[in-house]
Amino acid sequence: MFPESHTGYSYEDCRATADWLLAQTAVRPVVGIVCGSGLGGLADMLKDQVVFNYRDIPNFPQSTVHGHAGRLVFGTLKGRPCVCMQGRFHLYEGYPIQKITLPMRIFKLLGVETVILTNAAGGLNQDFKVGDIMIIKDHLNMPGFAGNNPLIGPNDERFGVRFPCMSDAYDRELQQLAMDVGIELGYGDFLREGVYCVLGGPSFETIAECRMLHKLGADAVGMSTVHEVIVARHCGMRVFALSLITNRAVMDYDSEEKANHEEVLETGKQRAEQLERMVSTMVTRIGHNNYS
Ligand SMILES: O=P(O)(O)O[C@H]1O[C@H](CO)[C@@H](O)[C@H]1O
């Protein structure tokens, strides 16, 4: 029924990877964190770490992008058991879309209930500045429009339903919690909310593309996160995601600015501390089955 090109992992494959990890650590994570480009410092916040290199984990892809260390870190954040991906996978690395999202299913089978994803993104919204933190309230899945969705292939009901809803992809209570925490920490001046648009990359966008995406309703553009969100929601985990606006998308033919990965990593470094404080405070306030 499905073409031979389907490259997904079975429930049993995912179970085997999760069991392999669970056998080697006593940590039973309830929160899973994904670090975006240059934001790997989030993982260093975990106490009593048990660390696995991606190359040692059965079925796991390898990180190939500068700024993504390629380590899965288990530990506790202010007493709460967490697992953190220090490095994620992207479509442009050449992996099948099911492979770049595999860690979300592993998270689920490890017992994770809430996923917090971070990314570096270009700001399309003209009010946004470099260094702003954007709470993601919705997304535009451009590869999805072209038929590239991580749920393509046979559906295993043990993960979720064939046609999952995405109008509630980004948990509203967690968005509010992030806003409250950000304001409390004094980040109000650089805290925003908006719509994230994913493209395949790795080339950055043309000026015409940026203008088009902005007209379509996107506030920020990047090359990740959305595929992970779809898979995480499919298997019933709550999702919160934020973008660090690392550069302004070039929208003007008179501009001399050029998007580049070095600027992305540099902005990550500059905002790392605030991002870490915001995420760690959120984690302490997320209840296992409710929010306090
Ligand atoms: O989305 P993350 O992983 O943060 O990385 C972003 O930064 C890279 C471009 O500089 C791209 O991979 C883009 O998606």
Q: Number of structural domains, the chain? A: 1
pTM, whole model, 2 decimals?
0.96
Domain extent, residue 189, equals 11-252+259-284
ipTM more than 0.95?
yes
Tell me, yes or no, whether 74 lies in a domain.
Answer: yes
| CATH classification at residue 30 | 3.40.50.1580
Write out the H or E segment, with its range, that includes residue 175.
helix 172-184
Tell me, yes or no, whether 242 lies in a domain.
Answer: yes
54 given a catalytic annotation: no
Please choose, from the candidates 225, 216, 201, the residue with its C-alpha nearest in 3D space to the C-alpha of residue 125.
216
Distance CA 244, CA 247 (A): 9
Using one digit for the tens of pLDDT, what is the confidence trace for 266-289?
999 999 999 999 999 999 999 744
Tell me, yes or no, whether 34 lies in a domain.
Answer: yes
Known binding residues for phosphate are 37, 68, 88-90, 120, 224
Question: Residues near ligand 1 with C-beta < 6 Å?
Answer: 36-37, 65, 88, 90, 119-120, 201, 222-224, 261, 264
223 given a catalytic annotation: yes
Phi and psi at residue 173, to the nearest 5°: -70, -35
Using one digit for the tens of pLDDT, what is the confidence trace for 206-245?
999 999 999 999 999 999 999 999 999 999 999 999 999 9
Helix, strand, coil percent values for the chain (each to nearest 5) = 35, 25, 40
Tell me, yes or no, whether 290 lies in a domain.
Answer: no
Distance CA 206, CA 52 (A): 38
